Amino acid sequence: MSARVVLLGCGNPSRGDDALGPEILARAGAWLLQRPDIDVRIVEDFQLQVEHALDIADADLVLFIDADASASAPYSLRRTWPSRDKSFTTHELSPEAVLQVARDVTGREPPPAWVLGVRGESFELGAPMTVSAHGHLEVAWDELLELLDDPRAAAWDARAAGW
């Protein structure tokens, strides 16, 4: 039996490199049509909200995907944990806050989760994705395929650690 994976991606396709999350999810959706053996659910939004806690509640693994101006190029992959951070009371939540809401709402530990932050540099309204972001997208896409090829927490932890 394969793991139930949720890919939860954020971004605004009208804001330059902020389109990285939606672009990866679009590729994943097309790729998954050829892979009915993999149990992956794709959730896309402009930003993370409290409602996304319900999207991840029954998953075995969660991967948050977003453009990240502070990530090392081409991307960063890190494990994340539930936390009540400052975003908990705002209109846009962090992945950690979404996990905390899932814990609070369900009364259970949320599924293991990671953040794939793809390096972005320009987020201007109406701007196209930069050439460098396209390159980062290609490398991050390969990483996502590696993760989906082995959907186990230990394997994802090893990749996040650079093993």
Is residue 37 assigned to a domain? yes
Q: Give tens-digit pLDDT for 81-91.
A: 998 876 555 55
Round to whole Å and give the CA distance between 95 and 42.
15
pTM equals 0.93
At residue 92 the predicted structure's pLDDT band, cuts being 50, 70 and 90, is confident
Is residue 55 assigned to a domain? yes
The pLDDT value recorded for residue 77 is: 97
Q: Give tens-digit pLDDT for 115-127.
A: 999 999 999 999 9
Q: Give the bridge partners for 84, in sequence order.
A: none
The dihedral region occupied by 119, where left means phi > 0, alpha psi between -120 and 50, and beta the remainder, is beta
The domain of 86 spans: 5-158
Domains in the chain: how many in total?
1
Is residue 137 assigned to a domain? yes
Is residue 163 assigned to a domain? no
Q: Give tens-digit pLDDT for 11-46.
A: 999 999 999 999 999 999 999 999 988 899 999 999
Round to whole Å and give the CA distance between 14 and 86.
27
CATH of residue 71's domain is: 3.40.50.1450
Is residue 102 assigned to a domain? yes
